[in-house]
Structure 1
Amino acid sequence: MFELAALAYLIDYLFGEFPCKHPVQFMGDFINAFERRFYRDRIFPGALLVLSLLMLTWLISISLIMLCGLLPDSVSLLIQALLASTGLAMNMLHSSVASVLTAHDPKQAVAMLVSRDTQAMNATDVYKAAIETWAENLSDGVIAPLFYLLLFGLPGIAVYKAINTMDSMIAYKTPRYFYFGKSAAIVDDIANYLPARLTALLITVLADDKIRALHCLWRDGHKLESPNAGYPIAAMAGALAVALGGDAVYHGQLKAKPMLGDSIRPLNRAALVAALAFTPRIHRTILGFLALSILLNF
C-alpha cells in the first residue's frame, strides 16, 4: 500500500485536480437523487442513504481493482494511483485557501470555503475562517484519506470520501437534516476520530513553538461541539500563537463557540501566510514517511 499511497500523493502534489468530473461529484449526484426520491427527516432514510452509498462505493472500487488485476502490475499500480489521487486534496486545499490572500474580495473568496455566513465578516473573521478551514481540512482532505488508503487501499480512500461527502452535504443540525443527516454525521465522526488527532500531532511536531502548540492542543482540542474538528484547529492556533474559534453565524443563526488558542499575535494576513507555510513541511514529512516505509518493506 505504501507504493500506491506515495504515487497517489505525488500525482496530487504535482498535478492537482484533473479536468474531468470528480468522483465526489458522482457521489453528490447519488446523494441528491436519493434525497429527491426518499427524503424524510427521519433517521431510517438517512441511514439507508449511508449504507447504500458506502456499499455502492465499495463495490465499484473492488470492481476497479479486479479490472486492474488483468493488467501488468506497473500499469495496474499507476491506474489505481491515479484513481486514489482524486481522493487527496492537498494541492486544491492549499490553492483554495491561498486564494484568500490574492482575491480582490477576500470575503467572497472565503465564502467558497466555509459553511458559515460571511456577509458581516470583518478582516479578522475572514482570516480566522481561512485558517480554521486550512487546519480542519488538512485532516479531512489529506491525512484522513491517506490514512485509509494506507490501511485499505483504493476501497479505503473511496469509502472515506463517500463518508466525507455525505457529511458535507446532509450532516447539518438544520430543520431539514436534523434526523436525516444524523447517521452521516455519526459515521463521519467515527471515521475522522484518529485522523483528526494525527493531524493535530503533525501540526504540533512541525510547529516552531512545539510546546505552545501542544499546550493549546491539550487544553482546547476537545472544546468544540465536533469531537474531531477542534484538535487540528487548536494545534494550529497554538502553532501560530493566535486565537481561533469563537462565535460565528450559520444559516442566519448566531452560534456560540469557544475560543481556541491564545491571542498573542494578531489574526491577520500574516497569520494566514504563516499557516500556509506549513505546506512544504507537510509535503516533506509525508513523502519522507512514505519513502522510508517503502524502503523498510523491501
Structure 2
Amino acid sequence: MFFELAILAYLVDLFFGEFPCKHPVVWMGDFISAFERRFYRDRILPGALLVTGLIALTLLISTTLVYLCGFLPAWMSLIILAIFASTGLAMNMLHASVAALLTAKQPKQALRYLVSRDTEDMSDTQIYKAGLETWAENLSDGVIAPLFYLLLFGLPGIAVYKAINTMDSMIAYKTERYFYFGKTAAIVDDIANYIPARLTALLIVSLATDKQRAWQCLRRDGKKMESPNAGYPIAAMAGALGVALGGDARYHGQVKHKPTLGLPIHPVDKSALNQALQMKMGINIMILALLAIGVGLS
C-alpha cells in the first residue's frame, strides 16, 4: 500500500490544486480525439482497441517515470511522484467548480462546464439538483477512486484509472455515434468504479447529520439508476440532505427518464447545495486521518 505517496499527493492537491501546465488528462483527451478521427467506426472492436491502446500507453509512461525516480534519493522520488499523482486528484477543482454555481451571474453557463445534460431550459431547482449530483458522483470519480487505485498500485494505478475515466467521459455515451464504439470504455469504467462508488457512499453517510436516513436512502435507492455505480453516492447525498435527486433530464436534445433518489423533505435550492459543499472539510479530515493511520501501520 502506498500510504505515504497518497497522503502527500492529497495534500499537494489541497494546497496547490491544478498546476499551470497542460494536464495529463488533456493529453489523454488529445490521444482519444486523434484515435477517433483516424480509426472511428461505430463498432466494438475499434473502441476496444482505443481502450487497450490508451491504457497500455499510460501504463508504459507511468511505470517508466516510477523506474526513473528509483535512481533519485527516496525523499526526492516521493515528492516527484506525489506531484504527478496529485494531478489525478480533483478535490479542489471539483469543489470550486460546483461552488461557482452559488455565485455565478449565469449559473446555467457555469453548469454547462460540469454536466453533459442540456442546460438551456433548466429551472433553478434543476440547476442546483445537477450541481448536487455532480458533487456526489464526482467525489467518487475525482477523489475516492483515484486515491483507491493510488493506494493499491501507486502512480501507475491512478494514471490508468484517469485514462479509463477520461475515455468514459468522452466516448461512453449511448448515442447513435458512440453506442458501440464507446461500449468497452463504459464497461471498463463501470468495473473500475464499482468499489470506489460504494466507498464514497459510505463516506457520505458517515458525515451525514441524520445517518440513519442517509443509510436507508442508500440501501433503498442506490441500485435504481441505470449506471451500476452513480446511484450510490447520489442516493447517499440525497438522504444526507433530505432532498430528492435524480428524475428526468434532457441529454443531447432528448429527455432521459431517471428514477428519483432520496426523500423530498427539504427543497433542492442554494442552501442544500451549500450544505453539501460544506462536507468538504469533513471529507478531507476523514481521508487524511485514514491515510495517516495507514502510514503509521505500514
Instruction: Provide the TM-score with structure 1 as the length reference.
Output: 0.99
Q: Which residue of 2 aligns with 1:183?
A: 184
User: Alpha-carbon deviation of 1:286?
Assistant: 0.4
105-114 vs 26-35, which moves further:
105-114
Residue in 2 that maps onto 1:226: 227
Does 2:26 align with 1:25?
yes
SS at match of 1:254: strand
What residue is the counterpart of 2:149 in the other structure? 148
Residue identity in the other structure for 2:21: C
After superposition, what is the alpha-carbon deviation per residue over 1:251-290, rounded to whole angstroms, capped at 9, x for unaligned? 0000100000010001100000000010000000000011
Displacement of 1:155 in angstroms is: 0.3
Tell me if 1:277 matches 2:278: yes
CA distance in 1, matches of 2:162, 2:222: 24
Give 2:87's aligned residue: 86
Displacement, 1:107? Answer: 1.3
Unaligned runs of 5+ in 2: none
Counterpart in the other structure of 1:252: 253
Aligned to 1:16: 17
CA displacement, residues 56-97 of structure 1 (integer Å, 9 cap, x when unaligned)? 000000000011011110000000000000000000000000
Aligned match of 1:58:
59
In the alignment, does 2:282 pair up with 1:296? no
User: For each residue in 1:138-192, what CA deviation from the matched residue of structure 2 results, as whole angstroms up to 9, or x when unmatched?
Assistant: 0000000000000000000000000000000000001000000000000000000
* Post-superposition offset of 1:108: 1.1
Provide runs of 4+ in structure 1 moved above 2 Å.
none
1:40 match: secondary structure: coil
Aligned equivalents of 2:272, 2:254: Cα separation in 1: 28
Does the residue aligned with 1:172 lie in a helix, a strand or coil? coil
In 2, the alpha carbon distance for the partners of 1:229 and 1:295 equals: 33
Query: 1:295 offset after TM fit, Å?
Result: 1.1
How far has the Cα of 1:218 moved from its partner?
0.2
Once the two structures are superposed, residues 209-262 of structure 1 have per-residue CA deviations (whole angstroms, 9 ceiling, x without a partner) of 000000000000000000000000000000000000000000000010000001
Q: Are 2:109 and 1:108 aligned?
A: yes
Q: Indicate the larger mover: 108-117 or 185-194.
A: 108-117
Query: Where does residue 44 of structure 1 map in the other structure?
Result: 45
Shift of residue 112, structure 1, vs aligned partner: 1.1
- Paired position in structure 2 for 1:118: 119
- TM-score normalised by the chain length of structure 2: 0.99
How many residue pairs are counted as aligned between the two chains? 297
Find the aligned partners of 1:265 and 1:40 in 2 and give their Cα distance: 47
Identify the residue that residue 243 of structure 2 maps to in structure 1: 242
Write the letter of the residue equivalent to 2:102. L
